[in-house]
Amino acid sequence: MSKTVIMVWIKTDSGTHPNGSIKSYGLGDLLRGTIYLHQMSVRYGFKLIVDLSMNPISKHLIVHKHEHAQYVNANIKKTHIVDCHELNKFDVIYKASLINPEPLLICTNMFCDEHLSVECKQFMKTLLTPNEPFSTYLNEQNALHNISAPYSIMHIRLHDDEFFKNKSVNNSQMNDAIKIIKQHTLTGDILMSNSYRFKEHVKSLHGHGSIAMLNTHPLHLGDLSTVFHDSIAKSFKETLYEFFVLINASSIKTYSVYDWVSGFVKFASLIHDVPLIDLKQRPSSTHHREIRDNKVVSSASNKSVIAMDSMRFKPTILIHRSYVTPKHYATSNQQNVIFTMKR
C-alpha cells in the first residue's frame, strides 16, 4: 500500500511582520506548496490528498471529501510545517514517516518546478472550483463591475503594509506604480492591486482619467486575524473573487515592488495558462528557484512570464510558452488609453 500524504491548508505562524501581524502563507504560497507535493507524489509514488477544511477558503470552493478527514481533524497539531527555505526537510520527514501506516500531514510553501504537467494543472484546477453560492457571487460581482471577456489585468503589487489601514503611505512606490500604469495600460485593461489606497489614489487623478478597476478591498489571505479591515469576511470573498477574475483574463501584466513576481498572479497564470507579462525592470540575470531532481536550483525565469528588458524597458521573452509576442507590446503603447472607470 502506498503512503498517503495530506497537504493541509492551515494558518501557519512563520514569525511576525514589523507591523505586528503574524506572517502566514497566502494563497500563492499554498498553491506553490501543493504543486510541489504533487510533483513529489509523481516522483515518490505516494497518494496526495489536499484538505481545505481548516481554511476559510473552504466556504467558497467545492471541498472534496476524503477517507482521512477524521484523522486530520484529530491530529491537526501533528501537521509538519515545511518552509520554502528548509530545502531538505520534506525528504527527511517523508522518509521517516514510511515506517508508520498513518497519513503524513504537511503544510508547505516549498518552491516547485514551474514546468507544470497537464496532470498537475488539472489536479490544481479541481481544488479551485467555486461552489454554487460562490458561483452566484462571482456572477453578481461580474455584473456589478461590468466584467465581460475579453479583458486583461494590470496588476500592481505594493508593499505588504498596504494591506493595513494604519500604515503610512509610501508615496515613492505609488508614484512609480502610476508611471507603470500610464506607460502600459491598454484598452480593455482592468487595474488590480493589493492596495485599496492606491486604487483610490488613481481615481483621484482626474487630470489623467481613471483606469477600469474593481472596487474591492484586498486582503492577504494568510493574515485573516490581524488585518485592519471593516469586514474580514467581505474582504476575503472579494480577494478570492479577484483570483477568479485573474484566471479568466486573456493576459496579465504585473508590477511588484518586490524582487519576485506575486504568487497570487503567478500561479493563476501557471495553472490556467494565462500569459503573464512582468513589467518590473530586472537584470537579465534574474533567476528563480525550481525543483530539479528533488533539489532546489537556480533556473531562468518562469516559463509563462515575459520580463522587461532592463535597458529598453520593452517586454523580452525569457522562456516561451503561452504569451503575447514582444512585437505586439513594442507597438502597443501607441494604443494607450488612460483610463475609463468601472465600479
Mean pLDDT of 312-328: 35
For cell 497570487, the residue is: 264
Query: Do 110 and 201 belong together in one domain?
Result: no
Count of beta carbons in the 10 Å neighbourhood of residue 156: 27
Query: Do 247 and 179 belong together in one domain?
Result: yes
State residue 78's pLDDT score.
96
Q: Which of 69, 95, 127 is the last residue of a domain?
A: 127
pLDDT in tens, 51-105: 999 888 999 999 999 999 999 999 999 999 999 999 999 999 999 999 999 999 9
Query: Do 292 and 190 belong together in one domain?
Result: yes
Q: Which of 85, 110, 127 is the last residue of a domain?
A: 127
Query: Do 200 and 98 belong together in one domain?
Result: no
State residue 149's pLDDT score.
86
Say how many domains are in the chain. Answer: 2
Domain assignment present for residue 343? The answer is no
User: At a CB cut-off of 8 Å and minimum separation 6, what does 16 contact?
Assistant: 22, 23
Query: Do 203 and 74 belong together in one domain?
Result: no
Query: Do 61 and 166 belong together in one domain?
Result: no
pTM of the shown model: 0.80
Residues in the chain: 343
Distances (CA, A) of 208 to 62, 188, 192, 249: 42, 17, 18, 25
Range of the domain at 249: 132-335
Q: Which of 127, 159, 194 is the last residue of a domain?
A: 127
Q: Rounded mean pLDDT of the chain?
A: 78
Determine the longest span between alpha carbons in the chain, in angstroms. 68
Domain assignment present for residue 342? The answer is no
Measured CA to CA, the distance from residue 317 to residue 308 in angstroms comes to 8
Q: Write the CATH number for 174.
A: 3.40.50.11350
For 16-25, 127-136, 175-184, which range has the lowest pLDDT when averaged over its residues?
16-25
Count of alpha carbons within 13 angstroms of residue 261, beta-carbon side: 31
The pair phi, psi for residue 154, each rounded to 5°, is: -105, 110
Q: Which residues pair with 192 in a beta bridge?
A: 155
Cβ-contact 252, 268 below 8 angstroms: yes
Q: What percent of the chain has pLDDT over 90?
A: 51
